[in-house]
Amino acid sequence: MEKSVALNEWQSLQKRMVINRVHALIHGAALAALFHYRITSITKSLPQLVIFAAELILSFQWLLSQGAKWNPVSRTACPDRLPADDKLPSVDVFVCTTDPVKEPSLGVMNTVISAMALDYPSHKLHVYLSDDGGSPVTFRAVKEAWGFAKVWIPFCRKYTVNNRCPQAYFMTEQTGDHRFLHEKAHIQKTYEDFKISLAKIAASTDSRVRDHQPIIEKAAYDKI
């Protein structure tokens, strides 16, 4: 049996651990003194009871946060230890939505496109969009997203783009040679057209939810 290799390394942060523990002990002692005072001097007046209840809740929340601080560690990812593509497991990504008004299609489609563009063997990556509301807006929007993904995913692969979310990527300044900047400008123009098409769909399509038979469409993007 082949021994599995850890995909990350970690080390304990000793200096931070000492500081955190000293702070936790001092804070805990102060809380103990506060509760002793409250219990021995509390009256049945409503304001004092409310304040005491609030202090109990906040102290409990503080206590829950101490687990990670009691023994802090630093982790380093080791992507070079990943197995070969043929040994990687298949991954299913589910994106769920229900209302294109409360959940605008642009944000949902950015999530779908980001998942499709993940740096993972495409034949082992499956992305599903589940629209619980069955809105025609979402149905038409995902077709537009598929069209944009045809140019976005090859661009990400060609230039090893780390930020695979189009909306976030185009909000940051990028440097590179003339060819890269020219191609990036073309992709950005395509993305702006994609945004306009989603806005037109939202404005012209009835977004009301209706009961109907499920609509299932499959798009193979492993050849993009």
Residues in the annotated binding site for UDP-alpha-D-glucose: 102-103, 132
- For the record, the structure tokens of 184 come out as 């990036």
Question: How far is residue 62's CA from residue 203's CA, in Å, rounded to a whole number?
Answer: 47
Quickly tell me which residue has 């499709």 as its tokens.
Answer: 116
- For the record, the structure tokens of 213 come out as 């038979």
Quickly tell me which residue has 């496109």 as its tokens.
Answer: 113
Classify the C-alpha dihedral 46-52-55-61 as positive or negative. negative
The SS3 of residue 150 is helix
| Residue set of the binding site | 102-103, 132
